């Protein structure tokens, strides 16, 4: 993602080439978007891999849904990964913006549709870390709200809206942004993001990563919505608080 963004900003062609190589590897090896075919309610066929995979009945209902990037566990069961799908959506969006090629835009739209359908929490509009595991129904449907994945989805939806002209994605990004900045369980009483801050904050690099990814998503929303002054003012104030909270 960073390499594709670097090309978009600085026109570093080696970075674009590496980003395309990563995208090609994912689409060839990680069962990305396609249509599932059922076999006796126990297996599904993934067209772009040419293989059948073990699937529990719990996941069969998703066979006609838009879906994302997968991997296969040690038991041969298919796992639809929320993290991989979100990263793939952001990468595809940037590659579409950089190259104008329709295959990247189509991949980004398909992955975003999966995220909208299965990963957005209906009550908070935030993003759930919800990898759909085909072996166990409980694993498939239990999920936690994720700060860093929320930031990535904001970024990806903003880019996707720019490349498609579909304002729905930008509206979703704004709604998710507002919810993320206002979600009390992620913040202290003075508005500081405190997700995962147990222990010494000076050594808590993952917490800083989560703050960074959320702030990065918000900055992308800011840059692509400059005409929305109240929204931009809200983001500016929020990020100022987060930056000054670092030790």
Indicate if the pLDDT at residue 110 is higher than 70.
yes
DSSP 34-75: ---EEETTTEEEETTTTEEEE--GGGGGGTTS----EEE-TT
pLDDT for residue 237? 96
Q: Which residue has the higher pLDDT, 48 or 148?
A: 148
Indicate if the pLDDT at residue 63 is higher than 50.
no
pLDDT for residue 18? 85
Q: What share of the chain is helix, strand, coil (3-state, %, to 5)?
A: 60, 10, 30
pLDDT for residue 137? 39
Q: Which residue has the higher pLDDT, 31 or 180?
A: 180
Beta strands 144-145 and 128-129 are antiparallel
Region for residue 130 given its phi and psi (left: phi exceeds 0; alpha: psi -120 to 50; beta: otherwise): beta
Percentage of the chain modeled with pLDDT above 70: 62
Q: Which residue has the higher pLDDT, 11 or 86?
A: 86
Indicate if the pLDDT at residue 141 is higher than 50.
no
With vertex at residue 31, the alpha carbon angle to CA 29 and CA 32, rounded to the nearest 5 degrees, is 110
Indicate if the pLDDT at residue 121 is higher than 70.
yes
Cβ 153 vs Cβ 214: under 8 Å: no
pLDDT for residue 151? 95
pLDDT classification of 159: cutoffs 50, 70, 90: very high
Of all helices (H) and strands (E), which one includes residue 128?
strand 128-129
Indicate if the pLDDT at residue 114 is higher than 80.
yes
Indicate if the pLDDT at residue 69 is higher than 90.
no
How far, rounded to the nearest angstrom, does the alpha carbon of residue 110 sit from its chain's CA centroid?
A: 12
Q: How far is CA 16 from CA 36, 56, 78, 113, 125, in A?
A: 31, 39, 30, 25, 32
Express each pLDDT in 169-201 by its tens digit.
999 999 999 999 999 999 999 998 887 655 455
pLDDT for residue 53? 65
In sequence order, what are the residues at sequence separation of 6 or more whose Cβ sits closer than 8 angstroms to the Cβ of residue 126?
Answer: 120, 145, 146, 150, 176, 179, 180, 183
Q: Which residue has the higher pLDDT, 20 or 139?
A: 20
Q: How far apart are CA 45 and CA 108, in angstroms?
A: 22
With vertex at residue 105, the alpha carbon angle to CA 131 and CA 229, rounded to the nearest 5 degrees, is 85
Express each pLDDT in 202-243 by its tens digit.
555 665 667 788 999 999 999 999 999 999 999 999 999 988
Among 87, 95, 93, which residue's Cα sits nearest to residue 71?
87
pLDDT classification of 66: cutoffs 50, 70, 90: very low
Instruction: Indicate the length of the chain as a whole number.
Output: 247
Q: How far apart are CA 116 and CA 104, in angstroms?
A: 18
Express each pLDDT in 1-12 by its tens digit.
555 555 455 455
pLDDT for residue 238? 95
**Model-wide pTM > 0.75:** yes
Q: How far apart are CA 66 and CA 76, in angstroms?
A: 22
Mean pLDDT of 115-120: 86
């Amino acid at each position: 993602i960073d390499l594709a963004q670097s090309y978009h900003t600085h026109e570093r062609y080696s970075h674009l080439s590496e980003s395309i190589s990563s995208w090609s590897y994912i689409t060839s090896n990680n069962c990305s978007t396609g249509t599932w075919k059922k076999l006796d309610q126990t297996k599904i066929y993934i067209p772009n891999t040419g293989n059948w995979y073990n699937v529990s009945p719990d996941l069969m209902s998703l066979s006609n849904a838009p879906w994302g990037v997968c991997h296969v566990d040690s038991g041969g069961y298919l796992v639809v990964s929320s993290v991989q799908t979100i990263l793939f959506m952001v990468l595809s969006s940037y590659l579409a913006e950089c190259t104008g090629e329709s295959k990247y835009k189509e991949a980004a739209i398909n992955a975003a549709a999966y995220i909208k359908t299965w990963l957005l929490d209906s009550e908070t509009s935030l993003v759930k870390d919800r990898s759909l595991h085909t072996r166990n129904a409980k694993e498939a449907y239990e999920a936690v709200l994720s700060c860093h994945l929320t930031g990535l989805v904001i970024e990806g939806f903003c880019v996707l809206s720019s490349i498609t002209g579909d304002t729905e994605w930008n509206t979703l990004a704004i709604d998710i942004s507002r919810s993320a900045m206002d979600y009390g369980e992620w913040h202290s009483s003075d508005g500081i993001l405190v997700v995962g801050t147990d222990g010494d904050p000076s050594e808590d690099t993952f917490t800083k990563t989560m703050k960074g990814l959320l702030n990065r998503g918000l900055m992308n929303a800011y840059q692509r919505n400059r005409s929305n002054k109240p929204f931009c003012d809200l983001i500016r104030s929020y990020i100022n608080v987060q930056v000054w909270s670092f030790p």
